[in-house]
Chain A
Amino acid sequence: MNKQIILSVKDLSVSYGNINAVNGITFDVTEGQIVTLIGANGAGKTTLLRAVSGLIPYEGTVSFSGINLKGKTPHEIISGGITHVPEGRAIFGTLTVMENLELSAWVVKDKGIYRERLRHIFSLFPKLEERKKQLSGTLSGGEQQMLAIGRAIMTGGSLMLLDEPSMGLSPLLVKEIFKVILDINKSGKTILLVEQNANMALHIANYGYVLETGKIVFHGSKEVLSGNPKIREAYLGV
């Protein structure tokens, strides 16, 4: 167990005008693990991910593999090895499935790597291959989520930020998506998972942080968190 810390966040604060969305958060993500951030609506989960990938300005430091990300453009951060699956999927509806994936050529310049990743995605999501010529706006919600994840895999990177992959999906599809997340993790990617569905998230995660109004209130391994009576009551509904 000589795992390295891949993402380190220190005293991260983000405010929208006068409102502090994230208030001095410190946490680490260890390489090869699935780390989850759980919390209710408005806890600051999405804001946190957006800060990490450089989409919004913040205070504090975020370092990835020892490199400080402050002042870097999102374009540089994505090329540098962080992938981000945004909330609400945000696929490009008027483009076909294939065209959505092809957009990754902005980051992936090598044709061999590009094809290899494409094959990997189609093995993870055979449905996407069947529908590769279809306009992505006409896909079902689950398929769109698969495309959003697939699209992120295309850009490569060793750390994947996943923002509420279970949003708006049926329980069966949620199971399927989480199985894929585990597969992706096994294939060597570190995952930072933001979820409202705490049950599912803690089920697959190695470590968890609980967010409440912009602050981390609990953290611990999966067993510790699922054993905590307060968390069981507030988030797991048991």
Chain B
Amino acid sequence: MKVVASAKKLAVPAILLVGCALSCSVSNSNLVDRYVELVVMYVGINFILTLSLNLVNGYMGEFSVGHAVFMAIGAYTSAIITVKVFSLSLGPWIFPLAVLTGGMASALAGLLVAIPSFKIRGDYLAIVTLAFNMIVKSIIENVDFLGGPRGYLGIAKLTSLVWVFFFSFMALWVIRNFVYSNYGRGVVSIREDETAAIIMGVDTKKVKIMTFMLSSFFAGVAGALYAHLLQFISPKSFDILKSTEILIMVYLGGIGSIAGSVLGASVYTVLLELLRPLGIWRMVIMPLVLVFLMIFRPKGITGLREFKWFIPSAEKKIKLFKHKV
């Protein structure tokens, strides 16, 4: 039993190591088409975005519609660090730190959104987040230092498959552990019934702050990866449309589910690429897919359920027990 237990403890670093090595060798060899590699990286970035928004919209049951704003803050912060603060030669070494700093800047912005969420929920909070998205976009458009509406140029291509894998895995691991912790239970209890959560002694203010900050942190990380993959960011890349895209991936995959976020991000990103030959028509087909999904499967592909691998082993024991009793 001890061997099994220690093997389980090593599982997380082992997967991380093998995954990094694998993605490193793939991107250095010519085995995989560059285009396919690019799409895979987009899937990874979109996964981080989807999972982070799912934390707020799916697990906590709030309705945040301006998620791209956190992406923007992460993207601009990290880009300033790699371009202005450190010279390009230092860039590759500084990159992971820049990504994390971008995430932290976003987390601070998340704190701002957490405050109105103490008082308001539902549609009203949605409007607040929408307004926040517009405000930040206008600020970026009007600050010359950030390039204004022309966008920010001169970003080096520092995002590689390895980094995308690394940060996707970190997002998955951190959010999984958060969701199955006592805090995570608190998050779900707020979704189910906030008053009942309060009288169970859940410190709902603390939970909301933590959740909004964690969610925006990973959105910032995704934004930083996005900026250093595309090598160009402009306020337009982080408008309401981008926020809507993230929302679509969340609801397509399934709310309150990590597996749903994996599926939502992959299906949406890959399908959009596959439909590329159709040109502008893909923007007709994608919404139609969504309309049908909402009619026939409103909970999304997975809908509140979870793949076994994403459930911590301590929780699994209970689930297995379920059928025996």
Give chain A's interface residues, CB within 8 Å of chain B.
Answer: 53, 55, 73-75, 78-79, 83-84, 86, 90-96, 98-99, 102-107, 130, 132-134, 151-152, 155
Contacts and interface: CB of A to CB of B under 8 A. Distances in A.
The 3 closest A-B pairs by CB, nearest first: A107-B201, A133-B322, A90-B196
A86 B201 contact: no
23 contacts: A53-B199, A55-B195, A73-B205, A74-B199, A78-B198, A78-B199, A83-B199, A86-B195, A90-B196, A91-B196, A92-B196, A94-B256, A94-B304, A95-B189, A102-B182, A103-B197, A103-B200, A105-B182, A105-B185, A106-B186, A107-B200, A132-B325, A134-B322
Interface residues of B, number: 26
B33 interface: no
Contact of A95 (B185, B201, B205): B185
B318 A133 contact: yes
B198 A95 contact: no
A83 B202 CA distance: 13
A105 B180 CA distance: 13
A95 B188 contact: yes
Interface of B: 182, 185-186, 188-189, 191-193, 195-205, 256, 304, 318-319, 321-322, 325
B4 to A, nearest CB: 23
A76 to B, nearest CB: 9
Contact of B198 (A75, A91, A98, A105): A75
Nearest to A85: B199
Nearest to B315: A99
Contacts of A105: 182, 185
B185 A94 contact: no
A53 B325 CA distance: 37
Given A91-B192, A92-B197, A102-B185, 4 more contacts: A53-B199, A94-B304, A95-B188, A98-B318
A65 to B, nearest CB: 18
Contacts of B189: 92, 95, 103
A132 B317 CA distance: 13
Contacts of A92: 188-189, 192-193, 196-197
Contacts of B200: 78, 103-104, 106-107, 151, 155
A78 B201 contact: yes
Contacts of B192: 91-95
Contact of B319 (A53, A95, A133, A155): A133
Nearest to B199: A84
B185 A90 contact: no
A90 B186 contact: no
A79 B199 contact: no
A55 B201 contact: no
A134 B185 CA distance: 16
A130 B324 CA distance: 11
Nearest to A54: B198
A104 B201 contact: yes
Nearest to A108: B201
Contact of A75 (B196, B201, B318, B321): B201
Contacts of A74: 198-199
Given A90-B196, A95-B192, A155 B322 contact: no
B182 A106 contact: yes
A106 B203 contact: yes
Which of A73, A92, A96, A152 counts the most chain B CB atoms within 10 A? A92
Contacts of B203: 73, 75, 106
B131 to A, nearest CB: 26
A55 B199 contact: yes
A13 to B, nearest CB: 21
B185 A130 contact: no
A231 to B, nearest CB: 30
A106 B193 contact: no
Given A105-B182, A155-B200, A133 B321 contact: yes
Nearest to B207: A106
A155 B186 CA distance: 14
Contacts of A96: 318
Contact of B188 (A53, A94, A107): A94
A35 B199 CA distance: 20
**Could you say which of A78, A79, A104, A106 has the most chain B C-beta atoms within 10 Å of its C-beta?**
A106
Q: For B189, B191, B200, which residue has the most chain A Cβ atoms within 10 angstroms? A: B200
